[in-house]
C-alpha cells in the first residue's frame, strides 16, 4: 500500500486495508519500520525521523498536532471568564500565531500549579511538558515577552530550564532559588535519577545551587523540592514582588 501511496499525508488510522484493524499499524511500528525501510524507495523515507515515536514522520503520515495549554491571568483581559479557571488548549500553530496582548508569560510543569496560579496583570501561564519545547520554540512573539520558568528544584529542573534557554535566552527562573529550597526542608524528597552534566546557560546563582544539588553538598541523598510542595503563600508573595 505504501509503495502505491508514498508519503500519503493522512493519519495512520485512515489507512484503509481489507482485514487490517485501524490500530494494527500503531501497534506494529517497530517491526514495520524494519520491513518498510527495505521495500520503499529512499525518497519515501525521512531517515532523520527515528524511533517508534517518529514513525509517522518517517513515512509521510500526518501526526497528531502538538497542543499548548494556557490560562490568561489578568482579570481585565478579554479572554478572562469570571468564576472559572479560563483554561484554553490550542494547537501549536495557533499558539505561534497568537501574539497575545500580555507582557509576561509563566511556564510551569505542574498541572495544579498551572490551574491555581494567582492572578497577574498583563500575564498568562503555560502548562509545560518537561523536556521538550517544540510547541513553544516557533513562537517568535515569546522573545518580546518577559518569560519565567517554574520547575522542580532538582538537577532535572535546572536541565529543563537550560533547554528552554536554548530557545529563549532571556527566560528567568521562578521560585527555583536557594531561599525557596531552604525554606521548605520538611518537603524535600529524593530525586530518583539525577543528572550531573554541565549546564552552561544557567546564571551564577542557579549554577551554584545546581552544583550543590548534583554534587550532593546539601545532604548525602539526591535532593528534590517538587514545585507543588512550595507554600502557596510564597507563590503569591513572589508574584506580587514582580
DSSP string, 84-153: S--EEEEEHHHHHTT--S-SEEEEES-HHHHHHPPP-TTEEEEE--SS--HHHHT-GGGGGSEEEEE--B
pLDDT value at residue 216: 97
The mean of the pLDDT values for the chain is 92
Alpha helices in the chain (DSSP H): 24-27, 29-39, 55-58, 92-96, 111-116, 134-137, 155-167, 178-182, 204-214, 232-241
The 10s digit of each residue's pLDDT in 126-178 is 998 665 688 899 999 999 999 999 999 999 999 999 999 999 999 999 999 99
Give the residue-averaged pLDDT of 187-195.
96
What percent of the chain has a predicted confidence (pLDDT) above 70?
95
Residues paired with 69 in a beta bridge: 89, 127
- The answer to whether 176 and 225 have CB atoms below 8 angstroms apart is no
pLDDT value at residue 53: 85
Q: Which residues contact 43 (CB under 8 A, 6 or more apart)?
A: 6
CA distance 143 to 16: 44
Give the residue-averaged pLDDT of 196-204.
97
- The answer to whether 199 and 210 have CB atoms below 8 angstroms apart is yes
Give the residue-averaged pLDDT of 114-126.
93
Does position 78 have pLDDT exceeding 60, yes or no? yes
Copy the grid coordinates of residue 208. Answer: 551554584
Amino acid at each position: 500500500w505504501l509503495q502505491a501511496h508514498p508519503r500519503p499525508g493522512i493519519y495512520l488510522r485512515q489507512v484503509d486495508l481489507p482485514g487490517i484493524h485501524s490500530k494494527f499499524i500503531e501497534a506494529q511500528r517497530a517491526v514495520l519500520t524494519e520491513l518498510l525501510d527495505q521495500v520503499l524507495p529512499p525518497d519515501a523515507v525521512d531517515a532523520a525521523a527515528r524511533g517508534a515515536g517518529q514513525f509517522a514522520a518517517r513515512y509521510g503520515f500526518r501526526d497528531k498536532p502538538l497542543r499548548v495549554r494556557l490560562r490568561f491571568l489578568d482579570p481585565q483581559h478579554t479572554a478572562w471568564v469570571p468564576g472559572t479557571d479560563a483554561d484554553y488548549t490550542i494547537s501549536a500553530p495557533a499558539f505561534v500565531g497568537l501574539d497575545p496582548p500580555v507582557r509576561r508569560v509563566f511556564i510551569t510543569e505542574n498541572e495544579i500549579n498551572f490551574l491555581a496560579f494567582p492572578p497577574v496583570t498583563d500575564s498568562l501561564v503555560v502548562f509545560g511538558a518537561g523536556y521538550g519545547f517544540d510547541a513553544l520554540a516557533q513562537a517568535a512573539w515569546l522573545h518580546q515577552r518577559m518569560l519565567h520558568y517554574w520547575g522542580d528544584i532538582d538537577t532535572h529542573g535546572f536541565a529543563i530550564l537550560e533547554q528552554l534557554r536554548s530557545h529563549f535566552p532571556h527566560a528567568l527562573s521562578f521560585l527555583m532559588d536557594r531561599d525557596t529550597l531552604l525554606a521548605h526542608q520538611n518537603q524535600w524528597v529524593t530525586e530518583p535519577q539525577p543528572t550531573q552534566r554541565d549546564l552552561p546557560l544557567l546564571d551564577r546563582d542557579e549554577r551554584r545551587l545546581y552544583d550543590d544539588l548534583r554534587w550532593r553538598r546539601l545532604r548525602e541523598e539526591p535532593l528534590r523540592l517538587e514545585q507543588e510542595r512550595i507554600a502557596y503563600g510564597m507563590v503569591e508573595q513572589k508574584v506580587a514582588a514582580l
